[in-house]
C-alpha cells in the first residue's frame, strides 16, 4: 500500500468514534469455489490445518495456539517478515465434513477493509473424481458509519475479500491441477 493512502485511512480511523463497536448497515456475503483434480482427502490435508495457512500465496507465516480445537487462534503475517497481520479464531472444525470456520478478531481496515468478518473453508468431492473447494465469507464494510469513503465502502469490502479468496483458490488449482487436465 502506498504510504499516503495508508496515512489517509489512519486519519479516517482516528476521526471515527466507536470504530470497533458499530458496523455498517448491510452485511455482505460472498462464495467462491474452484475445482481441482486431487481427491478431497489430499486437498484437505493441504488446507485443513488451521495452524498452517502457508498454501495461500499472500501468507508469509502462520503462528498460533490450540491446533484445530474450537477457540484455537492464529496470526497470519502477510507478504514478508514484519508484514501486516490478521488475527483469527477457529469456531467450527470438522475433519469428517472437511470444513472449518473462523472469524477475524483483529485486522486493520488498511489491510482488509472489513469488520465482523467470518468465513468457512470446505472441501467437497466432485462426481467423477477430484474436489471442489468452497470459500465463503460474511462481513461488514470497513467504514461503520453512514456515507463511507470509496476505499471503505461495501464494494471495496467485497472486492478485497474476493481477491483474497481467488488468489488462494488459484494457488490450489496450480498445485493440484484442474479436473480432467
Give Cα 155 to chain centroid, integer Å: 16
CB of 119 to another protein, least distance (A): 11
Report the residue from 91, 125, 162, 173 that binds another protein according to the rule CB under 8 A. 91
Q: By C-alpha distance, which of 155, 157, 178, 181 is closest to 33?
A: 178
User: Where does this chain touch another protein (CB under 8 A) — which range of 23-31, 44-52, 53-61, 107-115?
Assistant: 23-31
CB of 28 to another protein, least distance (A): 7
**C-alpha Rg value of the chain to the nearest Å:** 17
Output 28 or 73, the one with its CB closest to another protein: 28
Report the residue from 21, 80, 96, 128 that binds another protein according to the rule CB under 8 A. 21
**Residue 88, φ and ψ in degrees, nearest 5:** -135, 160
Run of H or E residues at 8:
helix 3-15
Give, in order, the Cα–Cα distances in Å from 147 to each of 18, 20, 24, 30, 95: 16, 17, 10, 22, 43
User: Where does this chain touch another protein (CB under 8 A) — which range of 5-13, 16-24, 49-57, 104-112?
Assistant: 16-24
C-alpha cell at 155: 464494494
Per CB under 8 A, contacts with another protein among 126-165 are 136, 138, 145-146
C-alpha cell at 18: 466507536
22 binds another protein, rule: CB under 8 A: yes
Output 18 or 180, the one with its CB closest to another protein: 18
118 binds another protein, rule: CB under 8 A: yes
C-alpha cell at 134: 468452497
Give contact residues for another protein (rule: CB under 8 A). Answer: 18, 21-22, 25-29, 91, 103, 118, 136, 138, 145-146
Amino acid at each position: 500500500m502506498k504510504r499516503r493512502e495508508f496515512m489517509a485511512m489512519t486519519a479516517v480511523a482516528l476521526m471515527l468514534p466507536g470504530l470497533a463497536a458499530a458496523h455498517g448497515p448491510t452485511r455482505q456475503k460472498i462464495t467462491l469455489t474452484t475445482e481441482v483434480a486431487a481427491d478431497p482427502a489430499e486437498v484437505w490435508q493441504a488446507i485443513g490445518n488451521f495452524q498452517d495457512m502457508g498454501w495461500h500465496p499472500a501468507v508469509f507465516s502462520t503462528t498460533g495456539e490450540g491446533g484445530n480445537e474450537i477457540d484455537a487462534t492464529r496470526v497470519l503475517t502477510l507478504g514478508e517478515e514484519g508484514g501486516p497481520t490478521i488475527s483469527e479464531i477457529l469456531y467450527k472444525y470438522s475433519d469428517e465434513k472437511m470444513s472449518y470456520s473462523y472469524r477475524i478478531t483483529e485486522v486493520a481496515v488498511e489491510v482488509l477493509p472489513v469488520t465482523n468478518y467470518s468465513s468457512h473453508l470446505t472441501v467437497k468431492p466432485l462426481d467423477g473424481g477430484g474436489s471442489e473447494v468452497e470459500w465463503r465469507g460474511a462481513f461488514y464494510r470497513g467504514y461503520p458509519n453512514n456515507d463511507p469513503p470509496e476505499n471503505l465502502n461495501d464494494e471495496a469490502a467485497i472486492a478485497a475479500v474476493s481477491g483474497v479468496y481467488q488468489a488462494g483458490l488459484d494457488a490450489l488449482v496450480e498445485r493440484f491441477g484442474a479436473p480432467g487436465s
